[in-house]
Structure 1
Amino acid sequence: MNHSTTPRPAPMPDGHAAGLRSAVAADPTASLVAGIQGAGGYGKTVLLEQLARTYRDAGVAVFGTNELARADEGAVLVDDAHRLGETVLGELREIARRPGARLIVAYRPGPRPAALAELIGDLGAPVLLAALGREEIAAQAGWAAPDWIGWLHAQTGGVPRYVSRVLATAEPGTAELPSRALDQFQHDLDQLGEAGSECVTAMAVGATPHPDLLAALLELTPEAVGSALLAIRAGGLVGADDVLLPIARAASLRLTPWELRLRVTRRLVEIQLARGSSVLPLVSPLLGADIALLPESTLAAAFEKAGEEALQSAPHLARRLLAAAVSAGTPPASVAARQARAAAVAGDLDEALRLADQVIVDDSVPDKELGVQVAASVLAHRGLLERSAELCGWSVGRLRWPGDRAFAAVGLIGAGRLGDAEELLRSTDDAGPPTSMTGAAAQLAAGVRESVVGSAATALSTLVRAASLSEPVGRGALVPDSPAAVAALVALHCGELDVVQSTLDKAIGSGSGGPLLHYRHRLLAAWLPLLRGDTVAARAKLPVAELAARDRLLATAIEAGIASRDNDMAALAAARGQARQAVAEHSVDLFNLLPLGELVVATARLRDQDWIAPYLAEARALLDRLGNPPLWTSMLTWKRLQAAVVLEELDEAQQFAGELGGMAHHNPLAAAMADAAGVWLRILAGQVDQDEAERAARALHAAGLAWDGARLAGQAAIRTADRRAMLALLECARALQGKPPRPRAVRGAMSAETDLLSEREKEVAELVLAGLTYKQVGKRLFISAKTVEHHISRIKQRLGCANREDLLNRLRELLGH
């Protein structure tokens, strides 16, 4: 019968499931034709059952495909229309065109036979079923935490059927897919047919869903693979990017026989190796399996290549992969150098050095230059810079690796052997082409030499360029030290703190120097807040990790500096043992003078400086061999002056002040330190000039030593007899520490409260707050320690303080500290 002129039922006004349910519920007797499109598991069957219930509750009969002859008597609801033959689809199309028809047809997105496409055209725009969002999953779960909901959403892609499977079988809050949920995928995989099931297996072991790759891998025709991929998408097993959902991948790996997975994996590995493509995701899951221990040439090659791929991003995994390559038949000698590198990058320096030494002495081992590079880098990291330099120098003319000559020169200069370094640098033959790494290494050597024999500005500029040139190499580098670290050290020694910040930020961001130098860059960055006196920020930058000798020396010096600035004598005493161990493990070189200087001040505060004297003597001998370069010498001399100030050793202080005066011409920081040294001498002698002290303190602050400037102003305030000058200098100290000035009213109120104390009690309080012991305070004021204790007891009583901590806090408020 031809119904072309007969009015057709209206299409669905709303493209959502809720709109369809509302339309049926509003008038079950009304004419309605609709299509429901959704991949497998998206809830087509559930929606049809809800609609059937609504119809039946309203007294409307519901028919399926086996009762199409009675379509005019009720509503026809059809599921899985993509599975129907042409005859039935033709009948449904005829029903859809009848006036008053009530027809709802559910189907998958594809594959789509021609007859179904024609029917869909008559049904109009379909109701599209979507995946569940996190809120909808949470509503179903009820008991689950947000993090677990997020995990479930990621695992299932929000596919309703998969969400229900996990919710029905999972332990609450356990982020692990239940085996019962995975076993239920067997039916889904069976529906795909043999080709579809094999494609899922290939994708599960790591194959990209490309028809040509899957066809070659599974020995199928491209047409068969194309149809299989359509079925996989329609089955709801993949996301929008055609990648298997995690739950579908886990199910396939669980349900596919091991032999089939291994066969597909081996074939896929062969294809990827032939193409030079990544094999890391393919063979990583094989680690720990019995098959990984069997001699197998394909797997051996794959494990070896995967180990190289994992070196930078996952060094611990790289070590396991290279070991698996040896188990699978790779000759141990052929991967020994790479195993040494993997151990070094993973932080196992002992194992790295052991393997590297074996590589160096065994003439049959390839990649000998890599073994030298690893050993040299590890030795420098362990604080043996001169030994590292000698090894780099040994490789010059023998093995050669990019930068070996330059790093040998840098290490020799660092050990005080400038003549040897210059002789090495005069040679012009280079290792290989002029790459970014060789260029950066050459500029590094030039910059370090300039820092010793030339100007600070030229040295720093050269080193910053070296750091910039090494950035593209990033995490791929394995070197004794990074240009960024050396540039930061030079910048710290000449007060260019902005250069320190920007250089280290870039190095940390790019991973310059690789994982082996990551903590070195972070620790050098912690010196910036330490110089400002911001001990909270400095402590926050300290890494919580097992550190090698060079990094441990830096970290220990920072901890001692924090304790010293916080006036925490208990913490300073606790750092003593760590400091002695760290210094003993590390040979003295040019690049560890900064932490050595910090420890000199710490030992002076503890009155325990004897143990560090031999290392100071080594440092002075090293600097003498280099001609006492002002850039490197001035900071250590300044720290020794500060130690003399703490110990009130006037003769020593005068000696160091004279040395600083001879270096004042070299750079602005050296000039500021030299000027401040003279002011310190006068302060120690009790000759405090407010204007002079403020000028010197502000000059130190401007040159990069903010905390030192504040300390100078604070100590000048303690030692002046002029009350007005004392208050002004204390305000100067506050300003240099970054604290806002106290309001006039507050200062007036403080002055009134401090009138409770006698002048002598104020003097005692100021000295106690400065960190002096009762004995030291007594010596300063020419009274006994017992008298000092008596003064403190009376102050505590007058201010109503319950304990010493309350007293110190109260005095800091009253005296402006």
Structure 2
Amino acid sequence: MSTLPSPLPPTELAELDGPQLSVLALVLLGSDLDETVVARVLDVEPDRARAAVDALRSDGWVDERDALVLADRTHLTRTLGENRLNTLARRLLAHHVERGTLTLPVARAVAATGTPSDELSQFLCTQAELAEPAAAVVLYAEAGRVGRLGDSAVVAYAEACALNGDLDTAVGLADSVLERSGTVDDPELAAAVRISAAGAAFCGMIDRSAELYAWLGADRAGADASLAASLLVVAGRLDDAEAVLATSAGAPPTAATAGAALVATGLVQSVTASANAALNSLTRALSLPGRASRPRVLPDSPAAITALAALHCGELAHADAVLGRAREAERPGSVTANRHQLLTAWTSMVRGDLAAAQSRLDGLDTAAMRQRDLLFVHGLRVGLARRTGDNAALLQAWAGAQGVIAEYSVDLLSLLPLGELWLTSIRVGEPARITHLVEDAQSLLRTLGEPAMWGSALHWYGVQASILAECPADLMPHARALGEAAKVSTYASGLATAGRAWLRVLQGDIDAASVEDAARTLDRIGLPWDGARLAGEAALRASDTRVATALLQVARALRQPTSAGNGADSAVVSSPSTPGSLTDREAEVAELLVQGLTYREIGSRLYISAKTIEHHVARIRRRLGAGSRSELLSMLRAMGHGYSADS
């Protein structure tokens, strides 16, 4: 069994003759020790080349694989000298280029010497085209150091950077192409616009993305005309989108082009036609066979757009299915991975599965996220805190969102997190911090003719905002908008019914049957938590204890996510129908809690520790599904606890 020779001390380099040092230089440059190659590159006789190679092998300068055995390679570089190493690098490169035998290790080693060569640069670019994004970024950088990159290479370099998560470098490279637009061919120009538009979209500036495509024009957009149309719709420029979409018919009929056209068509339909038609087109775009041989960075993924459209219609199962397929098909390290995970978490939150939503959110690395995804992160954080009644977490999440709120530009795909942040701003008493975005969103919807599919969700948030602010008058415009949308949208119809029920509750008109019907309608259209909140609020305002208890049952049942889904036919969680349904000890604790006693005072009365009282209260709160301490106290009063102290 052979053993590797020990690295030789640097001082012995001085003992090698010229050919031996030159052969070591070739090994350093990635070359093998083929005697013919050595002889030709060193311009020596084959016998002399063979002797130099044999001497290096026998003395242990290379191992059995002819790899260099030397701990300190910088000493070898200094011994050779820059001029000699560069000369050998040029000769080795010329030899392989002439014979078409250049390999990537040799090319990279020669490039590391800084030897300028257009052939070498082109070779590295060709290899980069075949590599994964992370490796491609390195190869394009090396190619740029030894030669001038053409427009197509610069665009490909930008694409690789974007796919590798380096958005700043990607946009910088794409912009360098746009600056030379007068001399750049249309395909490269369109690709540069796509990359810059994607960068702007990731940063929450869809209006900038739309301006880029408006500048490019339909004639130069080529196969990306459908992509331009999609962006223009999302930015609220429907007329421009339809004009661009009309020119996309001449694009090559590839699966990718057909898919992009269906996405654009679906987005136009989401504004001008029915939600069902829009979802059909968007979902068909995802079902086309075939996959692009090379990934491209896009302003948003078709799966994310489709899932968001489904969420705006209350089609939670549809959104889940779309996102599940997208996650399974995702390339490792995909730039869309965070987006799909965030939307999956959002779907779980809306369904009422708060634990699943929190788990997915906790599993994300937010450090490298840009504003668009961060808006959803902050929307999830405040949404989860609001639903669990964690005021400390709500305040912390609100404070963390301020940076994104200050610099975001509203578009159709950002209305959901905006709605959650809107409600939070009212809860914490700082609505002015987000008023400008809410007004921009409402203006966007008006510009598009109040599309039911996109507007219903925001108007439902408006209803809730009016309730939180205790301003019933502010609720009316949103209720009217939902009423109009109800004519063409089942989802909006459910929201409109709930909005009317909320208004009656605020006016003190508690009709248990209509409240329960509205709450269960919200559950059926994918908003069980909202339904539970409506029923719970009505229970708190009901003067009849039996009515209050019945509505609390509804609220508790809807707050419990089930494996079967979120429909009204889901099994109702067993719940107490009277105050006595609590255990005797829990009833005692509840009675004293409602009377305003502290945990310590309750413990003293019942001869148990304050810690045990805390555990009892936690169990009561979980059993009732109360989102906060104040809600718990209100529920207990509605159930009849605390009245004994008043009699």
Q: CA deviation at 1:284?
A: 5.1
Q: In structure 2, what is the equivalent of residue 511 of structure 1? A: 330
Q: In structure 2, what is the equivalent of residue 300 of structure 1? A: 121
Residue number among 364, 375, 382 corresponding to 1:553 in the alignment:
375
Distance 1:616 1:492 in 2: 19
Q: In structure 1, what is the equivalent of residue 309 of structure 2? A: 490
CA separation of 1:808 and 1:636: change in aligned 2, threshold 3 A: farther
Q: In structure 1, what is the equivalent of residue 270 of structure 2? A: 451
Distance 1:273 1:605 in 2: 73
CA separation of 1:512 and 1:631: change in aligned 2, threshold 3 A: farther
- The one-letter code of the counterpart of 1:542 is L
Q: In structure 2, what is the equivalent of residue 327 of structure 1? A: 145
Q: In structure 1, what is the equivalent of residue 235 of structure 2? A: 415
Deviation track 1:149-179 (CA, whole Å, cap 9, x = no partner) reads xxxxxxxxxxxx78xxxxxxxxxxxxxxxxx
CA separation of 1:801 and 1:401: change in aligned 2, threshold 3 A: farther
- The one-letter code of the counterpart of 2:493 is A
Distance 1:273 1:670 in 2: 70
Distance 2:443 2:172 in 1: 32
Identity %: 33
1:340–1:353 contact (8 Å) kept in structure 2: yes
Find the residue that maps to 2:438 and give its secondary structure.
Answer: helix
Q: CA deviation at 1:758?
A: 7.0
Distance 1:448 1:755 in 2: 55
Q: In structure 2, what is the equivalent of residue 607 of structure 1? A: 429
1:407–1:445 contact (8 Å) kept in structure 2: yes
Q: CA deviation at 1:703?
A: 1.9
Question: Does 2:173 align with 1:359?
Answer: no
Question: Does 2:158 align with 1:340?
Answer: yes
Q: In structure 1, what is the equivalent of residue 394 of structure 2? A: 572
- The one-letter code of the counterpart of 1:439 is A
Q: CA deviation at 1:512?
A: 7.5
Alignment of 1:359-508 (within 5 A): 359-362=177-180, 363-364=182-183, 367-396=188-217, 399-403=220-224, 405-427=225-247, 430-431=250-251, 433-469=252-288, 472-473=291-292, 476-508=295-327
Distance 2:31 2:258 in 1: 39
Residue number among 343, 353, 358 corresponding to 1:524 in the alignment:
343
Query: Which structure exhibits the higher relative contact order, with contacts defined as CA atoms closer than 8 Å and separated by 6 or more residues?
Result: 2
Deviation track 1:364-397 (CA, whole Å, cap 9, x = no partner) reads 4563333222212212222221221232233235
Find the residue that maps to 2:442 and give its secondary structure.
Answer: helix
Q: In structure 1, what is the equivalent of residue 449 of structure 2? A: 627
Q: CA deviation at 1:322?
A: 2.2
Q: CA deviation at 1:341?
A: 2.7
Distance 1:361 1:746 in 2: 74
Find the residue that maps to 1:400 and give its secondary structure.
Answer: helix
Q: CA deviation at 1:696?
A: 3.1
- The one-letter code of the counterpart of 1:421 is A
Q: In structure 1, what is the equivalent of residue 568 of structure 2? A: none
CA separation of 1:674 and 1:509: change in aligned 2, threshold 3 A: same
Higher mean C-alpha displacement, 602-611 vs 658-667: 658-667
Alignment TM-score, normalising by the size of structure 2: 0.75
CA separation of 1:704 and 1:420: change in aligned 2, threshold 3 A: same
Q: CA deviation at 1:638?
A: 0.9
1:470–1:512 contact (8 Å) kept in structure 2: no
Q: In structure 1, what is the equivalent of residue 553 of structure 2? A: 728
1:269–1:302 contact (8 Å) kept in structure 2: no
The structure number with the bigger radius of gyration is 1
Find the residue that maps to 2:610 and give its secondary structure.
Answer: coil
Q: CA deviation at 1:619?
A: 1.1
Question: Does 2:516 align with 1:661?
Answer: no
CA separation of 1:445 and 1:816: change in aligned 2, threshold 3 A: closer
* Structure 2 unaligned regions, length at least 5: 10-22, 47-62, 564-570, 627-647
Q: CA deviation at 1:647?
A: 2.8
Alignment TM-score, normalising by the size of structure 1: 0.60
CA separation of 1:474 and 1:541: change in aligned 2, threshold 3 A: farther
- The one-letter code of the counterpart of 1:419 is D
Residue number among 133, 146, 168 corresponding to 1:350 in the alignment:
168
Distance 2:477 2:449 in 1: 18
Deviation track 1:255-312 (CA, whole Å, cap 9, x = no partner) reads 9x98999989996998699879984x6645667x4x14x21344323332233334x4
Deviation track 1:186-226 (CA, whole Å, cap 9, x = no partner) reads xxxxxxxxxxxx9xx9999599xxxxx99x99999xxxxxx
Distance 2:222 2:338 in 1: 25
- The one-letter code of the counterpart of 1:381 is F
Distance 1:657 1:492 in 2: 20
1:710–1:737 contact (8 Å) kept in structure 2: no
- The one-letter code of the counterpart of 1:458 is A
Distance 1:461 1:480 in 2: 21
- The one-letter code of the counterpart of 2:499 is A
What is the number of residues matched between the two proteins? 579
Distance 1:736 1:445 in 2: 35
Find the residue that maps to 2:336 and give its secondary structure.
Answer: helix
Distance 2:510 2:308 in 1: 34
2:599–2:613 contact (8 Å) kept in structure 1: no
1:660–1:673 contact (8 Å) kept in structure 2: yes
Question: Does 2:364 align with 1:542?
Answer: yes
Q: In structure 2, what is the equivalent of residue 617 of structure 1? A: 439
Alignment of 1:166-181 (within 5 A): none
Q: CA deviation at 1:740?
A: 8.4
Deviation track 1:720-749 (CA, whole Å, cap 9, x = no partner) reads 432642552354134346798358899966
Find the residue that maps to 1:676 and give its secondary structure.
Answer: helix
2:133–2:163 contact (8 Å) kept in structure 1: no
Q: In structure 2, what is the equivalent of residue 234 of structure 1? A: none
Q: CA deviation at 1:550?
A: 1.3
CA separation of 1:548 and 1:265: change in aligned 2, threshold 3 A: farther
Q: CA deviation at 1:438?
A: 1.8
Distance 2:459 2:307 in 1: 19
Find the residue that maps to 2:258 and give its secondary structure.
Answer: helix
Distance 1:182 1:579 in 2: 57
Distance 1:687 1:792 in 2: 36
Higher mean C-alpha displacement, 262-271 vs 452-461: 262-271
Q: In structure 1, what is the equivalent of residue 60 of structure 2? A: none
Q: CA deviation at 1:516?
A: 3.9
CA separation of 1:798 and 1:285: change in aligned 2, threshold 3 A: farther
Question: Does 2:610 align with 1:801?
Answer: yes
Q: CA deviation at 1:539?
A: 2.4
1:693–1:712 contact (8 Å) kept in structure 2: yes
Higher mean C-alpha displacement, 390-399 vs 454-463: 390-399
What is the RMSD of the two structures over their aligned residues, measured on CA atoms? 4.8
Q: CA deviation at 1:446?
A: 0.4
2:599–2:614 contact (8 Å) kept in structure 1: no
1:471–1:510 contact (8 Å) kept in structure 2: no
1:538–1:562 contact (8 Å) kept in structure 2: no
Q: CA deviation at 1:557?
A: 1.1
Q: In structure 1, what is the equivalent of residue 584 of structure 2? A: 752
1:337–1:370 contact (8 Å) kept in structure 2: yes
* Structure 1 unaligned regions, length at least 5: 1-39, 42-160, 163-179, 185-197, 208-212, 221-236, 239-243, 765-787
